[in-house]
Amino acid sequence: MTTLVEHVTKFTGENFHTWQMKAMYLLMRKSLLGLVKGREPCPSKEAPGINEWHTKNERALEHITHGLEDDFIHHITGITDAKTAWDELEKLFGTQAKNSKINILTLREMKQ
């Protein structure tokens, strides 16, 4: 019998790409990846399905937030859109962040 994983190892500041891939597969399995990747934009306030979209957005944001160590949650505090939170983490720690290791070390030093 195969056991499905319901969570991913938390992002610790040193494993973003591994965490990102695992989180993407979890979000995919939960039918939330399209929302996080921007393929399911928020419908207008009167559109049918608006409540379902908000529910999916909250679930996706929950998975993203629970996948972060406490030291990194502040980067997305106040963000209520899962895509925006995902994009912010990518900007800070992904391949676009050329100095992400330096940024992480600096954040840790500032905290101490």
pTM: 0.80
Residue 102 one-letter amino acid? I
Average pLDDT over residues 4-10: 72
Q: Is the pLDDT of residue 102 over 80?
A: no
Q: Which residues pair with 11 in a beta bridge?
A: 68
Distance CA 74, CA 20 (A): 18
Q: What DSSP string runs through 10-46?
A: PB-SS-HHHHHHHHHHHHHHTT-HHHHTTSSPPPPTT
Average pLDDT over residues 79-103: 81
Kindly indicate the confidence band of residue 37, based on its pLDDT and cuts at 50, 70 and 90: very high
Count the neighbouring beta carbons within 10 Å of the beta carbon of residue 102: 10
Average pLDDT over residues 23-34: 96
Kindly indicate the confidence band of residue 5, based on its pLDDT and cuts at 50, 70 and 90: low
Assign 92 to helix, strand or coil. helix
Contacts of 52 (CB under 8 A, 6+ apart): none
What's the distance, CA 22 to chain centroid?
A: 11
What pLDDT was estimated at residue 38? 94
